[in-house]
Amino acid sequence: MPKVRVGVMFGGRSGEHEVSLMSAASILSRLDRGKYDIVEIGITHQGQWIVGEGVLAALKQRASGVRRALLFPEPGSRGLWGYEAAGDPKDIVLHLADRIDILFPILHGTFGEDGTLQGLLELAEMPYVGAGVLASSVGMDKGLFKDLMRAYSIPVPEYALVLRRDIERDMQGVVRKAEAVAPYPLFTKPANLGSSVGVSRCANRSDLSEGLLDAARYDRRVLIERGINAREIEVSVLGNDDPRASLPGEVIPSREFYSYESKYIDDSSRLIIPAPLTPEKTREAQDLAVRVCKAIDCAGMARVDFLLDRDSQALWVNEANTLPGFTQISMYPKLWEATGIPYPQLLDKLIELGFQRHAENVRNERSYESASSAAKH
Ligand SMILES: Nc1ncnc2c1ncn2[C@@H]1O[C@H](COP(=O)(O)OP(=O)(O)O)[C@@H](O)[C@H]1O
Ligand SMILES: [Mg+2]
């Protein structure tokens, strides 16, 4: 059997570039080389695609010696194109650089987890690992995500969505709207971002206006939410049409909430696996995680994050991450390990699910011929 050629893509233009490199290093070291030939594809901070030996190292050290590469949106080429752009731009020479059977994007956040890359891969008819365009973008947009959860009667903390324009022009009106959501503390966050960037806990009105202005630096739309006195519970989900949920895990943030500093700087937030929960709460979290994934029509994987109210014991869905952190010590693979799927087998399963989803997509007929016009032929 010929080996499957897997393009592992990492880096990217988001603030989570460095996290992506860490996730990719783990994946590259654990993909079974007996089954797969690996093509490393790096994306620089500026958005250039590069291939060649040691791309990961090159991205970290900003070294040269790697080749630029392109993916065409035209279907069927199943590969990356290399090009030489020396001299006159009219004289660019293209050549097929690397054939790829399936792409494994391990890009977190903007332009990787939000459906934009997935759109390009759909156009190119390239099989890929993980969620499609819609689930990726809904998973990324905290506003639409919460609207959808409400439509499915999946519990989310009360929230309101406001525009940057309103924050700039009518702060008083926005504050009034925010204070109608719930009593303080409130959380403010940009609708489309991750890693807790721009997320604030607001204990009073002056925190609130600061939080709103800060979140508005990162996005046109800002979410205001009831602040929950919460334990943070996470569940990994795996599968396409019949997703399975892992055991839940718990994050113990090193600060007041799971902020950027707490995630990446302090290095002292702890994960407890499995989360110490009653069997009933465990099942509730698992059922909700699966319902969330079905609601957004997810595929492959997602990590669904919850806020477990310490006061009422209510379980609220916070968000779904369609490309969760993937280092050996990240919650997503750790939870599967605890549930009985070791890391290398998890990667096999994700690749298999990517091919299955692609096979399902190509079954769709792309043109329509009505019975009457077919009869004329
Ligand atoms: N409504 C809320 N109540 C309590 N804590 C929250 C709330 N929303 C967010 N947080 C805290 O902020 C962190 C980051 O917010 P989150 O919505 O998960 O954004 P990100 O996508 O950046 O991870 C959460 O892990 C949690 O610690
Ligand atoms: Mg989060």
Please write the tens of the pLDDT for every residue from 229-245.
Answer: 999 999 999 999 999 99
Confirm or reject: Cβ of 234 under 6 Å from ligand 1.
Answer: no
pLDDT at 373 over 70: no
Same fold, 158-226 and 230-355: no
Ranked by mean pLDDT, the top range of 13-27, 65-79, 361-375 is 13-27
Q: Looking at the DSSP assignment, which residues form a beta bridge with residue 187?
A: 201, 225
Tens digit of each residue's pLDDT (9 = 90 or more) over 123-160: 999 999 999 999 999 999 999 999 999 999 999 999 99
Q: Whole-angstrom Cα distance, residue 309 to residue 203?
A: 17
Confirm or reject: Cβ of 232 under 6 Å from ligand 1.
Answer: yes
Confirm or reject: Cβ of 319 under 6 Å from ligand 1.
Answer: yes
pLDDT at 370 over 80: no
> What is the topology classification, in CATH, of domain 158-226?
Dna Ligase; domain 1 (3.30.1490)
Domain ranges of the chain: 4-128, 158-226, 230-355
Q: Is 128 helix (H, G, I), strand (E, B) or coil?
A: strand
pLDDT, position 375: 61
Q: Whole-angstrom Cα distance, residue 184 to residue 31?
A: 47
Query: Which superfamily is assigned to 230-355 in CATH?
Result: ATP-grasp fold, B domain (3.30.470.20)
Q: How far is CA 284 from CA 20, 107, 279, 317, in A?
A: 31, 30, 9, 11
User: Nearest residue CA, atom 24 of ligand 1?
Assistant: 258
Question: What amino acid is encoded at 367 in this protein?
Answer: S
Query: What are the φ and ψ backbone dihedral angles of 143, each rounded to 5 degrees?
Result: -70, -60
Confirm or reject: Cβ of 230 under 6 Å from ligand 1.
Answer: yes
The lowest-confidence range among 112-126, 189-203, 308-322 is 189-203
Confirm or reject: Cβ of 307 under 6 Å from ligand 1.
Answer: yes
pLDDT, position 199: 94
User: Nearest residue CA, atom 21 of ligand 1?
Assistant: 194
Tens digit of each residue's pLDDT (9 = 90 or more) over 78-116: 889 888 766 776 777 788 888 999 999 999 988 999 999
pTM for this entry: 0.93
> What is the topology classification, in CATH, of domain 4-128?
Rossmann fold (3.40.50)
Q: Which residues are within 8 A (CB) of 292 and not within 5 positions of it... i.e. 6 or more apart?
A: 149, 154, 237, 298, 302, 304, 317, 320
Arithmetic mean of pLDDT, 275-279: 97
Task: Tell me the pLDDT band of 350, cut-offs 50, 70 and 90.
Answer: very high
Q: Whole-angstrom Cα distance, residue 350 to residue 131?
A: 11
The single-letter DSSP state of residue 141 is B
